[in-house]
Structure 1
Amino acid sequence: MTNPRSKRITLAVTGSISAYKAADLTSALGKLGYEVHVLMTEAATAFITPLTLQVLSKNPVHLDVMEEKIAEQINHIELAKQTDLFLVLPASANTIAKLAHGMADNMVTSLALALPEEAIKVVAPAMNTKMYDNPLTQRNLATLKELGYREIEPKSALLACGDIGRGALADIPHVIEIIEEIFHAP
């Protein structure tokens, strides 16, 4: 086990069948000593419950950009200020497009726009092969890279829809390895 860290990871879970893997990631990151705060899109809640991620992260899960529990602060702005690494996992084609075009219509996209310049931004796409390879999705990913996002590329596998190809969420141990490399890079 690695020594505890003081790094804060904001995990944004979006609408993909791979959303259930966010539970394993949240648990593993917590065991490594990272502080994990979870945001979810409405579509993500159809695949995994906020309560699961709240229990594993030991922090409230944020769903609604308009919900302000502390009157003197704006929730998504405060959360963004405290973020060391912003990870969208799984990153749906819809959320990737919204991030690439600066939309701010939910908790995930609003916080993304409020991130400080020094915050590390990472997307881990998960979708059907045709959606991932679509020129629009590839253009949106290229735009995100130009804006400083890193991509944890999906793997080729048998997908939930029955197709075989690139689009499956990267394995969670691989994602953790990349996070560790990011935080320990010279």
Structure 2
Amino acid sequence: MAQKRILLGIAGGIAAYKAADLCSKLAQAGHQVQVVMTSGATQFIGEATLAALSGRPVAMESFDSRFPLGPHIELAKEIDAFVVAPATASVLARFANGVADDLLSTLYLQNTASVLLAPAMSDPMWSKPSVRRNVATLVEDGCQIVGPEKGWLSCRVQGIGRMSEPAKILAAVTEILGQS
């Protein structure tokens, strides 16, 4: 498969640490990876780690002079897939309701490529009717979902909400790219 352009969004949840492995796996598969992080994601994983793994500067701000047309325009242009891992309850809500209040959510609205979301949150959050409605809306809108999985959660309990492992997300990305 020829090199594809992947936009990797990372939201602010503890599962953000897995995004480093996903970024590395995508790059090792020969893809060009551009990382976009929310400010919350920086509380869990460093920008320098993701820049080193992707070989590209990480984008975080809606207003960035490196992108004269705006990062939401330039970063969404000609991408092959938009992957968000972890996709927190907040990100799912903003995407489902068309709220563009940061770079990641604005990119979602600008994007025309296939979207893969890897939810990650606590079991009670995942089980909330509002979260389930947002996921249903996103699926209706054409997004693909991988996970979440059942297992040990960071809140020290077993439940559903664990982000899928990077290898599983990579397999889903590869499938999406094969269809495009």
> Does TM, normalized by the shorter one, top 0.5?
yes
Alignment partner of 2:20 out of 20, 23, 27: 23
Cα pair 2:3 2:32 within 8 Å, conserved: yes
Cα RMSD (Å): 1.2
Alignment partner of 1:9 out of 6, 26, 29: 6
1:114-153 aligned within 5 A: 114-116=110-112, 119-153=113-147
What's 1:80 paired with?
A: 76
Give the superposition deviation at 1:33: 0.2
Q: Deviations over 1:130-185 (max 9, x none)?
A: 10111000000001111110110111001000121110000111111111112224
Give 5+ residue unaligned stretches, structure 2.
Answer: none
Is 1:103 the counterpart of 2:132 in the alignment? no
Letter paired with 1:130: P
Task: Name the SS of the counterpart of 1:68 in structure 2.
Answer: coil
Letter paired with 1:178: A
Number of equivalenced pairs: 180
Distance 1:84 1:24 in 2: 20
What's 1:171 paired with?
A: 165
1:64-79 aligned within 5 A: 64-71=61-68, 73-79=69-75
Task: Name the SS of the counterpart of 2:75 in structure 1.
Answer: helix
Give the share of equivalent positions with the same residue, in percent: 39
Task: Name the SS of the counterpart of 1:52 in structure 2.
Answer: helix
Task: Name the SS of the counterpart of 2:72 in structure 1.
Answer: helix
Task: Name the SS of the counterpart of 1:167 in structure 2.
Answer: strand
Moved >4 Å (runs of 4+): none
What's 1:33 paired with?
A: 30
Letter paired with 2:71: N
What's 1:90 paired with?
A: 86
Q: Deviations over 1:83-125 (max 9, x none)?
A: 2100110000001100000011111001111112xx1011100
Give the superposition deviation at 1:82: 2.4
**Structure with more relative contact order (C-alpha pairs < 8 Å, separation 6 or more):** 2
Give the superposition deviation at 1:70: 3.9
Give the TM-score, by structure 1 length: 0.93
70 and 141 in structure 1: CA distance in 2 versus 1, 3 angstrom threshold: closer
Alignment partner of 2:156 out of 159, 162, 169: 162
Give the superposition deviation at 1:75: 1.7
Letter paired with 1:122: L
Give the TM-score, by structure 2 length: 0.96
Give 5+ residue unaligned stretches, structure 1.
Answer: none
